[in-house]
Amino acid sequence: MSIFVIGDLHLSFNTDKPMDVFGPEWAEHYKKIEEDWRSRVTEEDLVIIPGDISWAMSFESAATDLGWIDALPGRKVLFKGNHDYWWTSKAKMDFVYESIEFMHNSFTTYGQTAICGTRGWLCPNDIQFTEDDEKIYKREAMRLENSIKQAVKAGCEKLIVALHFPPTNDKKEPSLFTEVIDKYPVDKVVYGHIHSKAYFSTTLQGVYHDVSYYLTSCDFLEFKLLELED
């Protein structure tokens, strides 16, 4: 039993949104992901997808993209990204796909490990951070803490946090997200959102306050799933 992660799939089987406009490496990127996924993931494994899953605008129009994910091996845990406009109520999404679980600021378990998280948001920075950003930022930090608290209350001792946005700004300064994470027995944090080699280095990666942080945007991972070590 293994836990894998890959973010920012940006699928568009029913949408005219080819990703190769962002670079030649994105040409038919889903084929690269599927080849690696099928070669390494078993039905007993779990795959975390931290946001920006489909370019679809409604849950119904995302059916082909979500069906593609559902047909791949393993159990999948999906978190909302800033481009997941198709994301709708838990009641509408639950139980539609056999192998997919949609996270709504909650947690799920895999063996002895809890998977917690929320979408996240921009952290305070010198480039762009409005009053509206601050409101969302504080709200998302509260949602993250609620998710973690639920897992701790349930007796989970090993926690993985999934966010879509990075948990720090481009200067890697402490944030409300890292403050929340530091309060609880979080082992690993995975996130996406960041694309292009020019920006990969602006993200918090490696061990910080005894927590391992991983950027998991699929182009950063060269369209191969990251297997989290125990």
Range of the domain at 58: 3-228
Q: Rounded CA gap, 90 and 111, in Å?
A: 23
Looking up residue 83, the CATH number of its domain turns out to be: 3.60.21.10
Query: Quick check: 45 and 100 in contact, CB under 8 A?
Result: no
For the chain, the domain total comes to 1
pLDDT in tens, 45-95: 999 999 999 999 999 999 999 999 999 999 999 999 999 999 999 899 999
Measured CA distances, 8 to 51, 103, 221 (Å)? 6, 16, 11
Q: What are phi and psi of 141, to 5 degrees?
A: -65, -40
pLDDT in tens, 131-167: 999 999 999 999 999 999 999 999 998 999 999 999 9
Q: What is the pTM of this model?
A: 0.96
Sign of CA dihedral 162, 166, 172, 173: negative
Q: What confidence tier does 96 reach under pLDDT thresholds 50, 70, 90?
A: very high
